[in-house]
Chain A
Amino acid sequence: MTDLTKLTLTEARDGLKKKTFTAAELTDAFIAAIEAGNGALNAYVLTTPDHARAQAKAADARLAKGEVRALEGIPLGHKDLFCTNGVRTTACSKILGNFVPTYESTVGANLWHAGAVMLGKLNNDEFAMGSSNETSAFGPVVSPWRRNGSDAKLVPGGSSGGSSSAVAADLCLGATATDTGGSIRQPAALTGTVGIKPTYGRCSRWGIVAFASSLDQAGPIAKTVEDTAVMLGAMAGYDPKDSTCVDAPVPDYAAQMRQGVKGLRVGVPKEYRVEGMSKEIEALWQQGIEWLKAAGATIHEISLPHTKYALPAYYIVAPAEASSNLARYDGVRYGLRVPGKDITDMYSQTRAAGFGKEVRRRVLIGTYVLSAGYYDAYYLKAQKVRTLIKRDFDEAWNKVDVVLTPTTPSPAFAFGEKTGDPLAMYLEDIFTVTVNMAGLPGMSVPAGLSSEGTPLGLQFIGKPFDEGTLFRAGKVIEDAAGRITPPQKWWLSTSKGR
């Protein structure tokens, strides 16, 4: 039989329907691939093969009866930020220790109700705070990509680095992810995968470990634009348990994707031509413009004047909300407890031992900007700047239907290259963070390779709840650029075979 792990999600779905293979066979192929490959990549922090086989068996029963749901028998990886009933959930932090939720996140429940199979929990930056997956308590994730002629370990991006690495390495057909400042789109760009962060409110946040509540959104990372369209369709939907979740019907994204871009007005913001942007990123952007023109879209230069202030405003808003959300980790109700001489000392020792360096840094920044006398100068100021960032986009939508930018300022970097300087790491999100600040949908699509032989992505930004246009535009880039996959499966250990 051909290697089932190489299929796209949509191809696998067709194969299951035609009974070319069973869900059990498909799931077993991925379990074997994870056994052979996860040692080198560290994408999964927990594998759940028994759970997966049981779900696959149930899927096969439904497939036999012709009761096929949207993701029937499709094996997925699940970011460890999503609470899973009876399955350890840690947000890749020591402070959650062996936390085993007694409930399922809404997005997770939606996927399992659509017939999907969970292969295991995927690595991420601790509490989703990072852009390289190097802050995880389980250690960094390795990208399946390498630079030409080098075997230096590259980062898969972050915070959804386990998701992007597992999808790019064929260790699942698709993966859940979350995005607070770029954590779906940047890892997708660095690994040649497709990632979409939907509009704020499109997916329920209930049961997802909270980082910054006004910015967090769940979305998929998968191999193709269509695969992400199918996954998002299953993940999205109204949930009364999240008061910011929007009660609006979920369209058929895959059908919208096929509508093409004839007459679509594409905006190119001049403020994204930042100083120090590499020539090849600029060339890639131009290539994307040409591809869209050839497909019938029109290109318009636009201005988003407050772009440069999005990142500093984000590094006030996100740590402020994080410091508040993470106050719950106090060693009382769940997770780690370090004894102290009194209750305050117990809290402080627990949090010092349980939080990693980057998380401590952000909680302290957040505490500072919210502290008495500083709230107006920092937090309120940042939220006012945020209003202006959103207003820039609102004005742009009078002239264009979608915005095209690069996803990242540079290709994947090596381990340790940016860990010394927090600000250098924060700049990874320079092109993605505006989207979260304005609550808009954004997608990264693979568009080419760097001179180092590693993937580069282009980003589309859409109007609120207009994910359909992102899928249409993304499909044009995908069709023109072709799928981008790692040249060699070097991560498969030979001892265990394939």
Chain B
Amino acid sequence: MQVDEATVQRIARLARITVTPEEAKALVKELSGILNWVEQLGEVDTSNVEPMTRVVPIALPKRKDEITDGEIPDQVTKNAPQTEDHFFVVPKVVE
């Protein structure tokens, strides 16, 4: 699979990572190389094979739907770049 610069920019937008035009040029080569290399999986016949969902065959444990933690807003917001009254502050989203 060969990707082009427009595809790289489209993925970068989806991934929320700013990519400069120079970086996009280098990424075209790198991503195409990796994607071409993984193409070899096409050789494997996977018809009638279930995709793996977990390596260890255990049932997902369930717990009671109870609150066991909380009331620690100081801790939750402690590492945030910008907070106000235990809220995370972000640039304006709605005009």
| A interface residues (Cβ-Cβ under 8 A, vs B) | 99-100, 102-103, 199-201, 214, 240, 243-244, 246-247, 306, 308-309, 312-313, 315-316, 323, 327, 330-337, 339-340, 342-349, 351-352, 355, 360-361, 363-365, 367-368, 371, 378, 380-388, 390, 422-423, 438-439, 464
Contacts and interface: CB of A to CB of B under 8 A. Distances in A.
B41 A382 contact: yes
A348 B17 contact: yes
Contact of B31 (A201, A323, A368): A368
B78 A348 contact: no
B44 interface: yes
Contacts of A330: 16
A200 B44 contact: no
B8 A364 contact: yes
Contacts of B67: none
Contact of B27 (A214, A361, A390): A361
B92 to A, nearest CB: 8
Interface string B19-38: 10000000100110111011
Nearest to A372: B14
21 contacts: A102-B72, A102-B78, A200-B55, A309-B43, A312-B37, A332-B81, A334-B81, A337-B82, A339-B91, A343-B92, A346-B91, A348-B17, A351-B18, A381-B41, A384-B51, A385-B41, A386-B52, A388-B44, A390-B52, A439-B56, A464-B56
B16 A309 contact: no
Contacts of A339: 91
Contact of B54 (A99, A244, A331): A244
Please provide the 10 A-B residue pairs with the shortest distance between their CB atoms, ordered closest to farther: A439-B55, A383-B51, A334-B79, A337-B81, A384-B46, A352-B18, A102-B75, A367-B15, A312-B38, A386-B52
Interface of B: 3, 7-8, 11-19, 27, 30-31, 33-35, 37-38, 40-44, 46, 49-56, 58, 60-61, 63, 72, 75, 77-82, 88, 90-93
B16 A246 contact: no
Contacts of B63: 240
Given A313-B38, A335-B79, 11 more contacts: A200-B56, A201-B56, A214-B54, A323-B15, A334-B80, A360-B17, A365-B35, A367-B15, A380-B51, A381-B42, A383-B52
B14 A388 contact: no
Contacts of A342: 91-92
Contact of B33 (A102, A378, A387, A423): A423
Contacts of A243: 60-61
A364 B27 contact: yes
A411 B92 CA distance: 53
A352 B44 CA distance: 36
A335 B79 CA distance: 7
Q: Max chain B CB contacts within 10 Å: which of A240, A334, A390?
A: A334
A387 B33 CA distance: 25
Contact of A361 (B30, B50, B72): B30
A187 to B, nearest CB: 23
A380 B42 CA distance: 12
A360 B16 CA distance: 10
Contacts of B53: 383
A312 B41 contact: yes
Given A342-B91, A423-B34, A464-B56, A309 B8 contact: no
A385 B46 contact: yes
B28 to A, nearest CB: 11
Contacts of A348: 12-13, 16-18
A352 B17 contact: yes
Contact of A201 (B33, B34, B58): B58
B44 to A, nearest CB: 5
A339 B8 CA distance: 23
Chain A CB within 10 A, most for which of B18, B42, B88: B18
Nearest to B47: A384
Given A348-B18, A361-B27, A100 B34 contact: no
B90 A346 contact: yes
